[in-house]
Copies of this chain bind each other. A is one copy, B any other.
Amino acid sequence: VKVSELGEFGLIDLINRLVSRQNKENAGSHKSLLLGIGDDTAAWECQGKIQLATTDTLVQDVHFLPEYISWEELGYKAIAVNLSDIAAMGGTPQYALVSLCIPGNFNVESIEKLYRGMLNIGVKYDTVIAGGNITSADKLVINVTVHGYTNNKVLSRSSARPGDKIAVTGYTGLAKAGLMIAKHNLKIDAEAQALFNRAWNRPEPRIEFGRTLTECGVSTAIDISDGLIADLKHICRSSQVNARIELDSIPIHTLLKQYFPDDYISMTLAGGEDYELLFTVNDNIMKNVKTRLADNIFIIGNIETGNDGTVDIFDNKGDKVDIEDSGWDHFNSHIN
């Protein structure tokens, strides 16, 4: 069997099984591990404080094409996608390790710009580059590990319960719009162009939102990297519940609708790389969250009983809508 036949998530399941078996046999020595494979970050306990660690890789021609993104944006994004995982745990980021595989004929100036972007987001979210590794390769590969902590309970994927409301912290589909515009060289209004490009190439991790969610008592969240529905399915599978989404409750950006009148729904549901937070919590706490985060919170559906991780979407007539929602799979989605 080839890796591409199994797919990204089949492979993660396989690895998870191999590792879990080992960890169980070995359990005594790792009581401090709170969360391993299968959540947004690993989490372990250190003298009463929870340490978080997450890693993510951007590969040239798979995740980015140098002609679509500036070096500075690429550096910014490479850190941002990891900070987003820390945000999805309700954590505060601290340190980053940066591993670069670089072709030997690469310009040193481009590397400086790449680091400039990483340092810029580091200042913004108080994250320091504390180490890393450099090696050569045929194509640029940027691997970043970010460490953070939380003094609260972590937000996990596995704690959604029937009756929970489902909410999202902002618009989705905008990053996909950025990709489409670059790929098809679409000419659009400058303001829209800037919005879509920023969403795609310079995403903002929702660190503050994540922290506020834990303070309010939310315990279930994920960051939207694969796509709104695909990531909701990750929550549902981990929590062994189903979900029901009301299509009309999902926030749609007016510029997305304007420039992509035929595709805006599938882009919103399955675009990916949105880096908003998706979370679930009971009605009472959701009211609290709404008070704290106001217009940044959109309630889009409910967690329901069931255990096969199904996500159903309904229109305003109560009819079930069938939508391609496969989302991003690293073995089947390439940028070019």
Contacts and interface: CB of A to CB of B under 8 A. Distances in A.
A6 interface: yes
Interface stretch (A8-16, A180-188, A275-283, A299-307): A8-16
A217 B135 CA distance: 34
Interface residues of A, number: 81
Interface in A128-151: 128-139, 141, 143, 145, 147, 149
Contacts of A56: 99, 133
Interface string A11-38: 1101100110011011001101101110
Given A94-B44, A108-B2, A119-B19, A99 B55 contact: yes
A123 interface: yes
Contacts of A4: 104-105, 136
A253 interface: no
Interface string A56-73: 110100110000000000
Given A6-B108, A106-B3, A135 B59 contact: yes
Contact of A55 (B48, B59, B133, B136): B133
A51 interface: yes
A33 B103 CA distance: 31
A210 B126 CA distance: 32
Which of A2, A103, A133 has its CB near the most chain B CB atoms (within 10 A)? A133
Nearest to A22: B119
A130 B18 contact: no
Contacts of A36: 128-131
A132 B8 CA distance: 12
A285 interface: no
B112 A14 contact: yes
Interface string A99-135: 1011111111101100110010011001011111111
A131 B101 contact: no
A22 B137 CA distance: 28
A134 B7 CA distance: 10
Contacts of A192: none
B136 A331 contact: yes
Given A32-B94, A136-B331, A145 B105 contact: no
Given A47-B47, A53-B95, A141-B141, A128 B330 contact: no
Contacts of A139: 137-138
B99 A18 contact: no
A54 interface: yes
A168 interface: no
24 contacts: A1-B109, A3-B111, A4-B104, A4-B105, A14-B111, A14-B112, A22-B123, A26-B123, A26-B128, A29-B126, A33-B130, A35-B130, A44-B130, A46-B46, A51-B51, A51-B147, A53-B131, A55-B97, A55-B133, A55-B145, A57-B143, A62-B137, A101-B141, A143-B143
Interface of A: 1-4, 6, 8, 11-12, 14-15, 18-19, 22-23, 25-26, 29-30, 32-33, 35-37, 39, 41-42, 44, 46-49, 51, 53-57, 59, 62-63, 94-95, 97, 99, 101-109, 111-112, 115-116, 119, 122-123, 126, 128-139, 141, 143, 145, 147, 149, 330-331, 334
